[in-house]
Chains A and B, each alone.
Chain A
Amino acid sequence: MTNLEKYNQVFVECLEITESALNADLIYNSVEQWDSIGHMAMIAELEDTFDIMIDTEDVIDFSSYEKGKDILAKYDVEL
């Protein structure tokens, strides 16, 4: 499984959405499950999946599906 596939899988499972929803419109609070609690659960899942520890500033900045890709790049996760 590629890193992008792993990244997508975390979104699909944590937010209970289909892959077709993974696009630039997917932002924080745009789907019911991506509230603050869902956000923290997804961050935890991403940390486990890629074995990283995301800084609090980046947890706050992680505002969309696309932005998340930029943030993971800071932790040497190439998608």
Chain B
Amino acid sequence: MLSGKNVILTGSAGGIGKKTLKALAENGANIWACARKPTKEFEIYIDELKKKYNVQIVPVYFDFQDEQQIKEAVKFIRSQKKTVDGLVNNAGMTYNALFQMTSIEKMREVFEINFFGQFIFTQYVVKLMMRQKSGSIINIGSSAALDGNSGRSIYGASKAAILCITKSLSEELSSYNIRVNAIAPGITDTNMVEASMTEEVILETINNTKLKRIGKPDEIANAILFYVSDFSSYVTGQILRVDGGLG
């Protein structure tokens, strides 16, 4: 499905990221696997995927809170002189707290990682895509950005900003044949969810889905595959909810 395509994936060491990395490799894509810092486990995972699927996976380590590091990362990718067919903006942090219990420092941190860092990174990557007059950008939002859940005002706002950018960018980049779409996952079985939600809230959220179960990271990865691939060649500016019918 993605043979010969080169894709940048951020947040590739996280729950959804690792499954997306596997799905991209499985379908023949070469990947720049971006993560904050190297770990032995992640390096082994990459090596296994490379061998199993005979694709190139190049780890790129940088911190989304450091603009200089972001720039160096794109410089490195650019230096490889390959087309950039896809960009999956998956990196992010979660944060749960009541609005009135949220400090401005925490708010800035969440926006720095979930929005500003990705914004800057995308600005640089878009320049590479504009040269080749093609590309697909996939932003990972959240159902929290659309539904406005209690305790998720700041996280939801940061993801809503990403969804808004998706719509605007899809217009601005259409003349360059660059598609921009977003995915809004609902509750998904990752460490991030386990660490940030109580069991009671998890069960309540699951009960609010039509499918009455938690989503699997592979199911988010499958939606990402669709948007990276040419199967979505006539789709842009869309937000796809992958949430088991939450609501």
Name A's B-contacting residues (CB within 8 A).
37, 40-41, 43-44, 47-48, 53, 55-56
- Give chain B's interface secondary structure class: helix
* Size of interface on B: residues with Cβ below 8 Å to A: 11
Q: Does B75 contact A (CB under 8 A)?
A: yes
- B59-81 near A? 1/0 per residue, CB < 8 Å: 00000000000010011001000
Contact yes or no, A40 B127, CB < 8 A: yes
Specify which chain A residues have a CB less than 8 angstroms from the CB of B120 in the assembled complex.
56
Specify which chain B residues have a CB less than 8 angstroms from the CB of A53 in the assembled complex.
71, 74-75, 78, 124
Contact yes or no, B131 A44, CB < 8 A: yes
What residue in chain A is nearest B128 (Cβ atoms)? A44
Name B's A-contacting residues (CB within 8 A).
71, 74-75, 78, 120, 123-124, 127, 130-131, 175
What residue in chain B is nearest A36 (Cβ atoms)? B172
Residue from the list A37, A44, A48 in contact with B175, Cβ < 8 A: A37
A47 to B74, CA, bound (A): 13
Contact yes or no, B130 A56, CB < 8 A: no
Query: 4 tightest CB-CB pairs across the interface, nearest first?
Result: A44-B131, A53-B75, A56-B123, A44-B130
Specify which chain B residues have a CB less than 8 angstroms from the CB of A56 in the assembled complex.
120, 123-124
Specify which chain B residues have a CB less than 8 angstroms from the CB of A47 in the assembled complex.
127
Tell me how far the C-beta of A43 lies from the nearest C-beta in chain B, rounded to whole angstroms.
7
What residue in chain A is nearest B124 (Cβ atoms)? A53
Q: A53-B78, A56-B120 are in contact. List 12 more A-B contacts (CB 8 A).
A: A40-B130, A41-B130, A43-B127, A44-B127, A44-B130, A44-B131, A47-B127, A53-B74, A53-B75, A53-B124, A55-B71, A56-B124
